[in-house]
Structure formats: C-alpha cells, structure tokens
A and B are shown apart, each in its own frame.
Chain A
Amino acid sequence: MGVNCSSRIEEYMNEVCGHIKFKEVHKEIKLELESHIYEIVDEYMNNGLSKEAAVEKAILQMGDSVTVGKQLNSTHKVKPDLGILVTVAVLLSVGLIALYSIEAVVNSYYRHASFLFTKTVVITIAGIAIGSLMYFFDYKKLKPFCKHIYLLNLLIITFITITGNRVRGIGYLTFRDITINYIYVSPWIFVISYAGILKEWEWDKFINSLLGIALLLLPFMIYLSNAGAVAVIYFTTLIVVAVASRVNLINIIMLMGCPLVVGMFFVMGNEYRIQRFIAMLYYKADTLGTGYMYVQCKEAIKSAGFFGKGFKAVLQVPETKTDFIFTYIVYSFGWIAGIIVVALAVLFIIRMVKVANMVKDSYGKIMIKGFIAIFGVQFVWNVLMNLGLAPIVGVGLPFISYGGSQLMASMAVVGIISSIFRRKNLAAGIA
C-alpha cells in the first residue's frame, strides 16, 4: 500500500518535471512539491481518510501536472546574462577593428604579411566555442577537485619557470609550433581552486593557518621570478578571494604582509625595476631611455583629438597590438573611442558585481569575485599605463589586446560566469 502511494506521487512529480527543460532544478522542485503533497496527505489522514484516498485528493488539489509543469518551465527558463555578453561582444569588436587597422598598416608599409586580424578572428571563434562549453558545464562539478586543480596548476607554472622558453622574462609553454602563455592564464585557474579551498580550510588551527599562507604565497614567489605584473594580479585576486571566503582578519593581514615585504626586497634588489618606477615619475627628464614609451603614448593620445586620425593611422609606438592597443585606439579613433572603451570596461565590471550578488551558491559567488579582481586589475592597470600613470608591465587590455591564450582564457571565464549566473537560483547542498 505504501509503495503504491509513493509511486503515485512519484508519477505525478515525473509528469510535472517532464515539462521542465532545465534538468538541474528537478531535484529541488521534486523535494518541494513532494513535501507539499505529504502535508496535505497528513491532514486528510488525520481527518480519518485512508492513505490512498488522501494521496488521490492531494494530487487533485495540486492541479493538472501539465499546467504546473509548463508554468514552472517558463519561470526556470535559463538565459545567460545579456549585459555581460553584450559588453564583451562590443569590446571584442573594438579589438578586432583596431587589429584590422594595425594589420592593414603593417601590410602596406612592410613586405612581410601580417595575419593579426585573421588569427584573432579564428581565436575569437574558438573562444566562443570554449565559452559555450563552459556555459553548459555545471561549474559545481569542479568543487571536489579544487585541491587537485591547485596542485596541477602549481606544478605547471613551476615546470614552465624552470624549463620553459623565456620571452622577455616570462616563461612560455611550447608544443611544437604552438606557444601558450600559461603564466598569464594560471591566475584564473587559481581562482577556480581557491573559491573552493579557502572557505573550507581550517584557519583556526595555528599550523594549518601557517601551511595555508605558505601554500598561497608559493605561486606568488613563482610569479615574481616570471613577471611582476602577474604577481600583482595574483596578489590582488588572492586577497579578494580570501575576504570573500571570510578568512579571518589575522590570516588576511599575514597574507598581505608577507608579499609586501618580499615584493619590496624584490623591487629594491633589482635596479632595472627601480629605474622603471622612477622613469614613470620623471618621464620628461629622460625621453630617450626608459621614459620613451611614456612620452610616445602621451604625445599620441594628446594629438588624437576627439575623433582621432582615422582608420589605418600609423603610430610609431612598439607593442601597439598588445599592451598599447589602447593608445592606438585613442590615436586612430579619438578620445571618444577611449572613453567608450573605459565605459564598456566599467559597465562590464559593474554587471559582474551585480551578478555575483545575485548568486546564492557561495562557491560560485566567490569564484566570480575572484574573476572580477583579475579583470579589474587588468583593465585599470592597462589603461593607467597607457595614460602614463602606472609602471609599464606586460598587462593587456582584456578582450581587446592581441594574444591567443589570454583571449581564450577571458572568453572561457565569461562562459563560467554565465554558467554560474544560469544556475543562480539553485540552492546548494540539496541532498
């Protein structure tokens, strides 16, 4: 008898869920509606009805399974966040237009053909594919593997640092013709791992807390020996993720203190780095040496005017396709274009903060906050650096600067953020 009744309820639930396309909500809806049905059944049974009759009446009272299922389906129809996707699409287009212009200039002045634009189109398409995969993939499945992800990521960056080919100090991962700028991609991977680890780490125990801090600072040391910029990005992100995970204050202060001391020694111990910093402050004094880039960028931006020099403008500044693409965009398309790019970046960040606040699951929420930190530092530093207000380091403008690994990583991350957004109404821990 009992079996019969529960199978009748099960049947009803399956009919309802059969109409709900987003399968990940089935479990919670079943649990909620079943609990409701049992409440009604209990009441009828208390009034003396047989269990079978009570179940029948309860199901009747719940209403037609098709109606309920269809209504639930329309409330749980999932879409990615349009605000994020639109800003990213516009940023990508701005980048493509700028690269097309640079490619045209290079090809008309030099003999060797440049494929900047074509390559970026291919990478963008690949990025859309990876991003879509991430969107459909349930990010929560990564959570049990957080520690493995940390270890693997640490191993790869250690390996690259020791054995990799170095281009201007940064280790690259190379497979035959393909070089992957993994060092720049790795902070994203650390965010995915820390969003799961930091919350559950037992910070109260003294030894654990020391071990935790050591494990978090290890990548920082490795980054320092590669590229200072990545070390700064990593450090900022680490603090943001630690605060979001509610790691206690003492540990956060320790986390902030150690890198600052190490970083100070690092900068002070290296004359070249001190020079670069001084060059930024007194760029006018030394226009041929380290101050060269600052003067070139300032001149280019100043002379651009509101509407710029137009498509295919020639700008004699190195690295216009990567780190100084912002200067190129302003130079060719004017101050207005610069303002638009900055506005888009601000909109993108604001929209992500809003999404982070809408998400219930703490793993997803912390992960988005970490991603915001990385994007934020990249945007702010790159723009300030182009305006001559920050030291010149290898930091590109997300979605715009030329660079396959970075672009693919950024687009994959947008996919992950959309995946978290799409599952934002799912409560965590429904057994």
Chain B
Amino acid sequence: MKVNKELLKGSTTILILSLLERKEMYGYEMIKEIEIKSSGVFSFKEGTLYPILHSLESEGLVEAFWLEGEGTRKRKYYRITEKGKGQLKEKQEEWKTFRSAVEKVMWEGIVWG
C-alpha cells in the first residue's frame, strides 16, 4: 500500500530522528531500516533523503562525519545531537496528540455514523 505523499513529508523528520536516536547511521542504512520496519509502506525516492538530512544538519539536529566503510568506500554517518533529541521528544508528543485526536474522531464517526 502506498501512503499519501504529503503525509510522508511531515513524518520523515520524526522517522529519521528516531532512527538516529538508537544509533549512528549512513543514508543507505537508514533507507533499509525504514523499509524493513515499515514493511515497505514507507518507500520513497532515495535521493530525496539527503536534502532532509542536510537540512537537519544545518539546523543542528544531527551532525555528520565521514568514516571509512568496508573496503575502501567512505560513508557519511549521521548522529543525533542533544538539540535533535529535544526536537524528537516534542515531535513525538505532537504525534501522540494528533493520533489520539484522529482516532477519537474516527471512533465517533463510526458510532454515530
């Protein structure tokens, strides 16, 4: 099932930050994780991940560093910052309120409809 693009756009920040809260990752690794965890619901054009990562970086929510990967390939890793953790908490709260509100409306819709 494909999810509406607009819905995806708002949630990628929270998705990326919560991934990075667990460990440092590079772009490709993030895409794989998201795909597996969401059972393929979230699959997007992989190049568009980088504009998001780079803007998170310039906002100081994540920081990046290069590491030598397996073989000779260099990988750019991202790590969440303290500011990023704070932002994530806020977004999680927001998401919870949003979700419970949607659920409430949907329930009432079913009961009264």
Contact = CB atoms under 8 A, between A and B. Distances in A.
Contact of A71 (B51, B57, B74): B51
B55 interface: yes
B39 interface: no
Nearest to A59: B47
Interface string A19-35: 00000000011011101
B91 interface: no
Q: How large is the interface on B (under 10, 10 to 19, 20 to 34, 35 or more residues)?
A: 20 to 34
A2 interface: no
Interface stretch (B14-22, B59-67, B104-112): B59-67
Interface string B73-88: 1111000000000000
Nearest to A60: B45
A16 B54 contact: no
A197 to B, nearest CB: 25
A61 B50 contact: no
Given A62-B45, A425-B58, A427-B65, A68 B76 contact: no
A76 B52 CA distance: 11
B47 A33 contact: yes
B93 interface: no
B94 interface: no
Q: How large is the interface on A (under 10, 10 to 19, 20 to 34, 35 or more residues)?
A: 20 to 34
A61 B54 contact: no
Nearest to B54: A75
Given A68-B51, A75-B51, A35 B45 contact: no
A72 B51 contact: yes
A299 interface: no
Interface in A30-55: 31-33, 35-36, 38-40
A74 interface: yes
Contacts of B48: 63, 67-68, 71
A33 B51 CA distance: 11
A64 interface: yes
Nearest to B31: A36
A430 interface: yes
B45 A63 contact: yes
22 contacts: A29-B50, A32-B50, A33-B47, A33-B50, A35-B73, A36-B28, A36-B50, A38-B73, A39-B28, A40-B46, A62-B45, A62-B46, A62-B47, A63-B46, A63-B48, A64-B45, A68-B45, A68-B47, A74-B51, A75-B55, A75-B58, A360-B63
